[in-house]
């Protein structure tokens, strides 16, 4: 496996920014993805934005002393997501059931994506993409959940388009200030 | 003690002895649970005075789950958790024993340990003025320049207040703030018979997967606790979508439901199970785990007997009163920490057999995440039910309205040779009634003799079955 | 030099405190056979170093965990404002430990 696809490794090399055209294409991709998630089109998301070998990981964020070698998260420990494509499909299968009560009545979703940076990697087919997000979910009358975090994505070029091959999601919350996570980030 | 008035001449030395509050008696609150009509008054979910009484009568007295031994394997390893709303540090001592300490500095009260967990700590230093405490909670020192000359200061008298009693049952560490509380095993009573389904189905016992998932739910803590103590009923409706996604069909209690399924309760702790062998494990979505549990269950027959061997992976759920719950076979393990009458912090872990292959442990980790974590296909739909069951009681008229807890009245099983108060069928409100009966006992009684010999105690007849 | 104790009293890895007439208390330890003598008073906030311990060739103060290298006294894991520790010159002579506790002319 290419190192950069290894979910446990953070990006380190930020010295080869992609050209403006690539950056614009990636931005378009991420914005379209966000819009797809906002309208709960999860099957479309799997079909058009996610690659076969996706590794989608969101660890729990522990509060640890700076001197603690374990750090705030570690792959292999507790996580909110640590999914391959077949596992993402299970989650989507629940979303589309009429009795998915946490989604019926519908939740109002907004994915705000910002701080997008795009870097070339050692593999010309792969791009390292950093972004930050604000995720807002509002339900019923006044139930509102907001999550902020960062994503470290690896996008694979598919012709003129891209597919998500790896996503690390690092949120800023220790205790998730929400009862659930009925969305993808 | 009076504070210094102008001149401090003759001021007494402060008394720094730890304080363990005593219980009272709240018969009016106890009456909110009506055993005759099988009803629970909604004020138990919304009233601030009831909540404060719970902190005193229940959370300051009952044995509460603190940590799994595997989370703090070596000296100086610690985790931070709550007992009710009290913040505590659980720390392994140099001699291998475990201490639990109130996480509040005796100087100005500041929280001393600010992190979730850590390893090989040398002690705990308060960020405010630098008072330093050993792993045993004793004050090691502060600032010799200042305090050496101060006559009121007697280091040996000062420390983090220790949780009055700490004890383990098969890997689970519990603590109580009540020095008078009976032993942990007496508190658990014959329920240990059922705990062993999860904790002792194989040589080597259990461990927790690293880390923890924490989340907040705006509900009263008793809704999730009663849900796990005996509400398999909700699975059909609440979790239809999750079951469809994973199993491609509805929740299935097995073909021999009428013959096998039961609920059992001891001191308000309860389990419901269908003895269908792998129903819970199947919901994790990994056939490899189902094979593993079939095999485990076969091997466990010698150790646990037929009934409990069938329960290892069966559709089932359990709560240890007041606020620790788990799902056998599913292997989620959780505590519902109260945060006011209308809020909880849920902390959940994955429990696995220590001797299970690494691959199996990882599948459990992933399976629990897929089902019983905030993004899991089952847990996803629980929270809103509990939130609105709580929140509607803001309505003055609404909270006067009766609730129905009467499913399975008269279904007690007096024949079956199992420990505890046993009821036929898992689709039953029996365990929930007994959970609230236990709750009422805690409200009513100020002493353990009454607490341990009331309506929720296992009948003597069934005690033999636990031997 | 002042006589402090029998050298057999100084045990590998342990810290021994000695009161000396007219002078602040001193602490002694033995590491890899060699004896070290230093002030018992931690230069950080004047707590007693003999209530700390020795770990990886360093004296660790049990209060705020300042670590001082045996011999050089160089401070690690330094609480704000904590200077290095000054070790005393010492000698193991005929089974007794002697140390130079103050500047002798
Ligand atoms: S409050 Fe802890 S040192 Fe002052
Ligand atoms: S007094 Fe020794 S480190 Fe603070
Ligand atoms: Fe549920």
Alpha-carbon distances, residue B59 vs B51, B72, B228, B441 (angstroms): 10, 23, 19, 13
* Phi/psi at A136 (5° precision): -115, 130
For chain C, the C-alpha Rg in angstroms (whole number) is 13
Considering only CB atoms, B140 lies closest to which of C41, C46, C51, namely C51
CA pair distance B41, B35, nearest whole angstrom: 11
Domain coverage including residue A128: 15-62+70-171
Do B72 and B213 belong to one domain? no
Which of the residues B70, B210, B352, B392 would you substitute to probe the A interface, choosing the one with the greatest number of A C-beta atoms within 10 Å? B210
**Does a structural domain hold residue A5?**
no
Cβ of B143 and C46 within 8 Å? yes
> Which protein residue's CA is at the shortest distance from atom 3 of ligand 2?
C64
The pLDDT value recorded for residue C7 is 95
- The per-residue pLDDT for range B290-328, each reduced to its tens digit, is 999 999 999 999 999 999 999 999 999 999 999 999 999
- B337 given a catalytic annotation: no
Cα A11 to ligand 2 centre (Å): 39
Looking at B151, B180, B209, which one is the last position of a domain? B180
CA distance A120 to chain B (A): 32
Do B173 and B232 belong to one domain? no
CA pair distance B333, C38, nearest whole angstrom: 52
The pLDDT value recorded for residue A2 is 66
User: Over 60: is that where the pLDDT of B6 sits?
Assistant: no
Burial B61-75 (b: 16+ CB within 10 A, else e): bbbbbbbbbbbbeeb
Please confirm whether the linkage preceding A105 is cis (ω < 30° from 0). Answer: yes
Decide whether any atom of ligand 2 lies within 6 Å of the C18 Cβ.
no
> Which protein residue's CA is at the shortest distance from atom 4 of ligand 2?
C64
CA distance B181 to chain A (A): 32
Structure token pair of residue B422: 């046993």
**Does a structural domain hold residue A185?**
no
Which chains border C (3 or more CB–CB pairs < 8 Å)? B
Q: Which residues of A touch B211 (CB under 8 A)?
A: 59-60, 62, 73-74, 77-79
The pLDDT value recorded for residue A49 is 98
H/E stretch holding B397 = none
Do B115 and B156 belong to one domain? yes
Burial B398-437 (b: 16+ CB within 10 A, else e): eeeeeeebebbeebbbeeeebbbbbbbbbbbbbbbbbbbb
Do B268 and B368 belong to one domain? yes
- Could you tell me the CATH number of the domain that includes residue A80? 3.10.450.50
Other CB atoms within 10 Å distance of the CB of residue C94 = 7
Q: Which alpha helices (H) appear in B115-221, and where do they start and end?
A: 144-147, 184-188, 192-199
Q: What single string gives the DSSP state of each residue in B228-250?
A: HHHB-HHHHHHTHHHHHHHHSS-
Do B147 and B217 belong to one domain? no
pTM: 0.95
Decide whether any atom of ligand 1 lies within 6 Å of the B111 Cβ.
no
Looking at B116, B147, B180, which one is the last position of a domain? B180
- The per-residue pLDDT for range B345-366, each reduced to its tens digit, is 999 999 999 999 999 999 999 9
3-state helix vs strand vs coil in chain A, percent to 5: 25, 40, 35
Decide whether any atom of ligand 2 lies within 6 Å of the C44 Cβ.
yes
Q: Are B298 and B309 in contact (CB under 8 A)?
A: yes
Closest residue of chain A to B343, computed from CA coordinates: A179
Do B169 and B192 belong to one domain? no
Mean pLDDT of A84-98: 96
CA pair distance B103, B100, nearest whole angstrom: 9
**Does a structural domain hold residue A176?**
no
Quote the distance between the C-alpha of residue B376 and its chain's center: 21
Do B306 and B423 belong to one domain? yes
User: Over 90: is that where the pLDDT of C17 sits?
Assistant: yes
Structure token pair of residue B285: 């979505």
CA pair distance A22, A119, nearest whole angstrom: 9
**Does a structural domain hold residue A137?**
yes
Do B294 and B371 belong to one domain? yes
User: Over 90: is that where the pLDDT of C31 sits?
Assistant: yes
CA distance B144 to chain C (A): 5
**Does a structural domain hold residue A10?**
no
**Does a structural domain hold residue B51?**
no
**Does a structural domain hold residue B252?**
yes
Do B405 and B311 belong to one domain? yes
The pLDDT value recorded for residue B12 is 76
Which of the residues B381, B382, B383, B394 would you substitute to probe the A interface, choosing the one with the greatest number of A C-beta atoms within 10 Å? B381
Q: Which residues of A touch B238 (CB under 8 A)?
A: 101
User: Over 70: is that where the pLDDT of B198 sits?
Assistant: yes
CA pair distance B398, B391, nearest whole angstrom: 10
Q: Which residues of B touch C39 (CB under 8 A)?
A: none
Band of residue B251 on the pLDDT scale cut at 50, 70, 90: confident
- The per-residue pLDDT for range B112-160, each reduced to its tens digit, is 999 999 999 999 999 999 999 999 999 999 988 888 778 888 888 999 9
Mean pLDDT of B255-270: 96
Alpha-carbon distances, residue B294 vs B288, B353, C57 (angstroms): 10, 15, 54
Residues 6+ apart with CB under 8 A from A88: A46, A50, A54, A56, A184
Q: Which residues of A touch B212 (CB under 8 A)?
A: 60, 62, 78
Calculate the dihedral angle through the C-alpha atoms of B141, B146, B151, B153, rounding to the nearest 10 degrees.
-30
- The per-residue pLDDT for range A31-50, each reduced to its tens digit, is 999 999 999 999 999 999 99
Which chains border A (3 or more CB–CB pairs < 8 Å)? B
- The per-residue pLDDT for range B18-42, each reduced to its tens digit, is 999 999 999 999 999 999 899 999 9
Q: Return the closest-CA partner of residue B363 out of B333, B330, B325.
A: B330
For residue C64, give the ligand 2 atom closest to its CA: 3
Domain count, chain B: 2
For residue C52, give the ligand 2 atom closest to its CA: 2
Mean pLDDT of C71-94: 96
The pLDDT value recorded for residue B13 is 84
Q: Return the closest-CA partner of residue A7 out of A126, A166, A117, A119.
A: A166
The pLDDT value recorded for residue B462 is 64
Mean pLDDT of C88-92: 95
**Does a structural domain hold residue A1?**
no
- The per-residue pLDDT for range B387-401, each reduced to its tens digit, is 999 999 999 999 999
Residues 6+ apart with CB under 8 A from B404: B38, B39
CA angle B52, B56, B57 (to 5 degrees): 110
The pLDDT value recorded for residue C105 is 39
Per annotation, catalytic residue among B28, B116, B129, B291 = B129
CA pair distance B22, B30, nearest whole angstrom: 18
Q: Maximum CA pair distance of chain A?
A: 49
**Does a structural domain hold residue A30?**
yes
The complex scores an ipTM of: 0.96
CA distance B156 to chain C (A): 13
CA pair distance B401, B42, nearest whole angstrom: 8
Q: Give the number of residues written for chain A.
A: 185
Cα B382 to ligand 3 centre (Å): 5
Domain count, chain A: 1
The pLDDT value recorded for residue B1 is 46
Mean pLDDT, chain B, integer: 95
Domain coverage including residue B102: 63-180
Report the half-sphere exposure of B30 (CA within 13 A, side-chain side): 16
Band of residue A13 on the pLDDT scale cut at 50, 70, 90: confident
- Residues β-bridged to residue B118: B78
Is the four-CA dihedral B335, B336, B338, B344 of positive or negative sign? Answer: positive
User: Over 60: is that where the pLDDT of A168 sits?
Assistant: yes
Alpha-carbon distances, residue B432 vs A69, A136, B33, B38, B461 (angstroms): 44, 36, 11, 10, 22
CA pair distance B254, A13, nearest whole angstrom: 55
- B151 or B98: whose pLDDT is higher? B98
* Ligand closest to CA B107: 1
Mean pLDDT of A80-103: 96
Report the half-sphere exposure of B238 (CA within 13 A, side-chain side): 16
Fold of the C10-85 domain:
Rieske Iron-sulfur Protein (2.102.10)
Walk across the sheet containing C89-93 and list its strands: C2-6, C96-100, C89-93
Check CB contact of B375 with chain C, cutoff 8 Å. Answer: no
Q: Return the closest-CA partner of residue B431 out of B318, B341, B325.
A: B318
User: Over 50: is that where the pLDDT of A57 sits?
Assistant: yes
CA pair distance A132, B229, nearest whole angstrom: 41
Per annotation, catalytic residue among B28, B143, B234, B450 = B234
Strands A161-171 and A50-59: parallel
Cβ of C47 and B144 within 8 Å? yes
Other CB atoms within 10 Å distance of the CB of residue A73 = 21
Q: Give the number of residues written for chain C.
A: 105
Q: What single string gives the DSSP state of each residue in A52-88?
A: EEEEEEEE------TT-TT-S--BTB-EEEEE-HHHH
A38 φ/ψ sector (left φ>0, alpha ψ -120 to 50, else beta)? alpha
**Does a structural domain hold residue B50?**
no
User: Over 50: is that where the pLDDT of B169 sits?
Assistant: yes
Per annotation, catalytic residue among B178, B231, B276, B429 = B231
* Ligand closest to CA B327: 3
Looking at B113, B147, B180, which one is the last position of a domain? B180
Which residue's entry shows tokens 């050993």? B134
Q: Which residues of B touch A66 (CB under 8 A)?
A: none
H/E stretch holding B341 = none
The pLDDT value recorded for residue B250 is 87
**Does a structural domain hold residue A181?**
no
């Amino acid at each position: 496996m290419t190192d950069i696809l290894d979910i446990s490794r953070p990006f380190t090399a930020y010295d080869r920014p992609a050209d403006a055209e690539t950056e614009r294409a990636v931005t378009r991709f991420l914005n379209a993805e966000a819009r797809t998630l906002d309208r709960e089109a999860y099957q479309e998301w799997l079909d058009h934005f996610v690659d076969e070998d996706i590794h989608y990981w969101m660890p729990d964020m522990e509060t640890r002393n700076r001197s603690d070698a374990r750090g705030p998260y570690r792959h292999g420990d507790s996580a909110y997501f640590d999914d391959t494509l077949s596992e993402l499909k299970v989650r989507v299968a629940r979303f589309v059931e009429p009795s998915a009560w946490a989604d019926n009545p519908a939740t109002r979703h907004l994915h705000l994506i910002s701080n997008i940076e795009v870097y070339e990697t050692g593999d010309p087919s792969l791009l390292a993409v950093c972004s930050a997000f604000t995720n807002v979910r509002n339900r019923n009358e006044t139930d509102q959940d907001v999550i902020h975090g960062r994503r470290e994505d690896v996008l694979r070029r598919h012709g003129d388009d891209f597919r998500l091959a790896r996503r690390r999601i690092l949120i800023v919350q220790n205790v998730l200030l929400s009862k659930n996570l009925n969305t993808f980030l | 003690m009076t504070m210094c008035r102008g001149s401090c001449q003759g001021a007494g030395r402060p008394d720094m002895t730890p304080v363990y509050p005593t219980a009272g008696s709240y018969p009016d609150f106890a009456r909110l649970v009506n055993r005759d009509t099988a009803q629970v008054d909604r004020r138990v979910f919304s009233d601030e005075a009831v909540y404060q009484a719970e902190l005193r009568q229940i959370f300051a007295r009952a044995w509460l789950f603190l940590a799994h031994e595997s989370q703090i394997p070596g000296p100086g390893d610690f985790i931070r958790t709550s007992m009710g709303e009290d913040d505590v540090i659980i720390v392994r001592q140099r001699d291998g024993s475990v201490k639990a300490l109130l996480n509040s500095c005796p100087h100005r009260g500041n929280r001393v340990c600010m992190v979730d967990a850590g390893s090989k700590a040398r002690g705990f230093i308060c960020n405010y003025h630098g008072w330093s405490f050993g792993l045993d909670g004793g004050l090691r020192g502060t600032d010799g320049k200042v305090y050496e000359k101060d006559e009121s200061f007697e280091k040996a008298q000062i420390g983090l207040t220790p949780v009055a009693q700490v004890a383990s049952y098969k890997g689970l560490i519990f603590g109580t703030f009540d020095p008078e509380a009976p032993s942990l095993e007496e508190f658990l009573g014959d329920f240990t018979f059922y705990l062993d389904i999860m904790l002792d189905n194989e040589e080597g016992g259990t461990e927790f997967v690293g880390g923890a998932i924490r989340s907040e739910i705006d509900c009263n803590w008793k809704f999730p606790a009663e849900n796990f103590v005996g509400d398999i009923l909700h699975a059909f409706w609440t979790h239809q979508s999750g079951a469809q996604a994973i199993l491609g069909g509805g929740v299935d209690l097995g073909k021999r439901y009428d013959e096998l399924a039961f609920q059992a309760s001891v001191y308000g702790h309860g389990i419901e199970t269908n003895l269908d062998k792998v129903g819970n494990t199947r919901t994790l979505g990994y056939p490899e785990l189902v094979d593993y549990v079939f095999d485990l269950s076969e091997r466990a027959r010698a150790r646990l007997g037929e009934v409990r061997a069938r329960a290892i992976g069966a559709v089932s759920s359990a709560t240890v009163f007041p606020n620790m719950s788990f799902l056998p076979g599913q292997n989620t393990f959780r505590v519902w920490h109260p945060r006011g009458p209308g809020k909880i912090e849920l902390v959940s872990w994955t429990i696995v057999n220590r001797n299970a292959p690494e691959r199996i442990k990882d599948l459990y980790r992933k399976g629990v995440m897929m089902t019983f974590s905030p993004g899991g296909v089952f847990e996803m739909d629980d929270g809103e039910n509990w939130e609105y069951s709580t929140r509607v009681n803001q309505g003055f008229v609404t909270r006067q309205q009766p609730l129905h807890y009467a499913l399975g009245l008269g279904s007690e099983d007096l024949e079956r040779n199992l420990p505890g108060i046993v009821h036929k069928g898992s689709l039953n409100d029996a365990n929930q009634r007994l959970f609230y009966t236990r709750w009422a006992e805690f409200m009513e009684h100020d002493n353990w003799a009454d607490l341990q010999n009331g309506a929720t105690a296992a009948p003597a007849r069934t005690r033999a079955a636990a031997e | 030099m002042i006589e402090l104790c029998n050298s057999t009293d100084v045990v590998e890895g342990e810290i021994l405190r000695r009161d000396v007439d007219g002078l602040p208390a001193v602490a002694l330890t033995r590491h890899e056979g060699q004896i070290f003598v230093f002030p018992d008073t931690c230069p950080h906030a004047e707590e007693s170093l003999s209530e700390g311990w020795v770990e990886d060739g360093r004296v660790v103060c049990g209060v705020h965990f300042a670590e001082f290298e045996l011999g050089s006294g160089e401070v690690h894991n330094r609480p704000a404002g904590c200077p290095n520790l000054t070790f005393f010159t010492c000698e193991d002579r005929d089974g007794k430990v002697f140390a130079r506790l103050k500047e002798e002319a």
